[in-house]
Amino acid sequence: MENLERILKEHPFLAGLDDKYIKLLVGCASNVAFKAGEYIFREGENANQFYFIRHGKVQVETYVPQQGPVIIRTRSEGEIFGWSWLVPPYKWHFDARAVEVTRALALDGKCLRDKCEEDHNLGYEIMKRFALIIAERLEQTRMQLLDVYGNHSKK
């Protein structure tokens, strides 16, 4: 557990977070590993976790009939993914799959949600950090939509 605490404490995402909250997060955290190709979650399932990737690569994808899975974003070592646990109806909207062997810390969002409700200071600290992540995703998605490279190949 000490190891988990160190990892969380040193993660830039949690920089400046009070030690007591870090300890609380450690209580919600567990080590997980996924094989290459393994689904981490699937569209429609209950969203009860988010992940700190410690090693490997994850792709967020969606299944488009006649096209197969379309990859929307990849996430790599050091990055965070999954925020559907934070907003109702707490369901995943996309699939997430390990591209290669991936190790991560999974944080129990359900447990964290309850704790945030009880302690709004914690709630604010967590919200603030996830708002950044969501804003960044939105910005990147908009840029993706701009399709800046002009000429279109087949798709």
Partner 1 sequence: MATTVKNKKTAPLGTADAMHIRPFSIRRVVKESFDTFSLELDPLSGEKGHKFAPGQFNMLYVYGVGEVPISISGDPTRHKTLTHTTREVGTVTRAMRNLKVGDTLGVRGPFGSSWPVEDAVGNDVVIVAGGIGLAPLRPVIYYILAHREKYGKVVLLYGTRTPEDILFRKDLEKWRSRFDLETLLTVDRATGAWKGNVGVVTTLIGRAPFDPLNCVAMVCGPEIMMRFTVLELQKRGVEEDKTFISMERNMKCGIGLCGHCQLGPTFVCKEGPVYCYRDLKDVFIKREM
Binding site for partner 1 (CB under 8 A): 57, 59, 61, 67-74, 76-79, 99-100, 140, 143-144, 146-155
| Closer by beta carbon to partner 1, 15 or else 148 | 148
Q: How far is the CB of 7 from partner 1 (least distance, A)?
A: 17
| Closer by beta carbon to partner 1, 26 or else 53 | 53
Q: How far is the CB of 147 from partner 1 (least distance, A)?
A: 7
Tally of residues, the chain = 155
| Closer by beta carbon to partner 1, 71 or else 131 | 71
Q: How far is the CB of 70 from partner 1 (least distance, A)?
A: 6
| String of DSSP letters for 48-101 | -EEEEEEESEEEEEEEETTTEEEEEEEEETT-EE--GGGSTT-B-SSEEEESS-
The C-alpha atoms of residue 117 and residue 121 are separated, in whole angstroms, by: 9
Question: Residue written as tokens 């569209």?
Answer: 43
Contact 104, 3 (CB under 8 A): no
DSSP class of 39: E
Q: How far is the CB of 4 from partner 1 (least distance, A)?
A: 22
> What is the Cα Rg of the chain in Å?
17
Q: How far is the CB of 144 from partner 1 (least distance, A)?
A: 5
